[in-house]
Amino acid sequence: MHFVRLIVLFSVSAALSAGTINATATYTDAMVGPGEFQYGLTLHNTGTTNIGTFWFSWIPGAGFLSAQPTNVLAPADWTGMVTDTYAILFSAGTAPLAAGATLSGFQFDSTMTPAELAANFGGPGP
């Protein structure tokens, strides 16, 4: 298991004044074919408010992934989509991640190797 070293941003489904947003994410990786890797993400809500949005590999206007992710999957009641900058936006339906809870099931495939994913980011994506 690896800790995500990329910037991960969150939004909440409750008023910001009601609590603090704080979370960590870890990931696992597995080769699923020649030059193709599958990454599984687990989100840990360490704050005091619910999390309804999980941006993976994103800052405003730029994504950190150098290759477009494919086969994006999300946990039950969540959806996942790839942005035009190769970041991934995961959004909760009616069940945001509660404070203190952990949620796995975020997943994507990529041609980026585990070493490339863990490396320092060199600049904005496409």
Q: Give the model's confidence band at 123: pLDDT under 50 very low, under 70 low, under 90 confident, else very high.
A: low
Structure confidence by residue, pLDDT tens digits, 80-114: 999 888 899 999 999 999 999 999 999 999 999 99
Give pLDDT tens digits for 29-72. Answer: 999 999 999 999 999 999 999 999 999 988 777 777 889 999 99
| Separation of alpha carbons 20 and 119, rounded Å | 29
pLDDT > 50? residue 12? no
CB–CB of 63/83 below 8 Å? yes
> Distance (Å, rounded) from C-alpha 20 to C-alpha 126?
32
Nearest to 43 by CA among 84, 78, 93, 82: 78
Max distance between CA atoms of the chain, in angstroms, equals: 48
Q: 10: closest CA among 61, 36, 46, 62?
A: 46
